[in-house]
Amino acid sequence: MIKSSIGAVYANGGQDLSDAILGVQIIDGRGELLNFGGQVMKNVAGYDVARLLVGSKGRLALIAQISFKVLPSSYVDELTAPTKLATSSNLTQQIEQRLKQVFDPKGVFQ
């Protein structure tokens, strides 16, 4: 199952998984095979159904095929370079504390 959450954003250095998806092929509730998005990165207008389907975590349809955006490693290194600053223990603790405040304000899961 492909899903997207704040934990995925935190683990991937600020990039959501749904940002890397170009298109999806799904099986809907009637058993029909539907295609949304495309195979190449291009500027289009309209609804981003692929992002909606990933965000639905499997509730809207069964995802049969996904097309991911692939970037050269040098470009990926440029995107992830700022996250190397997050290795300092103080900043990491601040991020973890903020996530706990947002998702577990009463401290149930500590």
Q: What is the pLDDT of residue 45?
A: 63
For residue 1, give its domain range.
Answer: 1-70
14-72 pLDDT, tens digit per residue, is 566 677 788 888 888 899 999 887 766 665 666 777 778 877 777 888 888 888 877 67
Give domain status of residue 34, yes or no: yes
- 25 vs 91: which has the higher pLDDT: 25
Q: In the numeric block, which tokens belong to residue 54?
A: 């990933």
3-state helix, strand, coil in the chain (%, to 5): 45, 15, 40
Q: Is the pLDDT of residue 5 over 60?
A: no
Q: pTM for this structure? A: 0.49
Same domain, 47 and 83: no
Distance CA 74, CA 59 (A): 36
Same domain, 52 and 77: no
Same domain, 78 and 92: yes
Total domains in the fold of the chain: 2
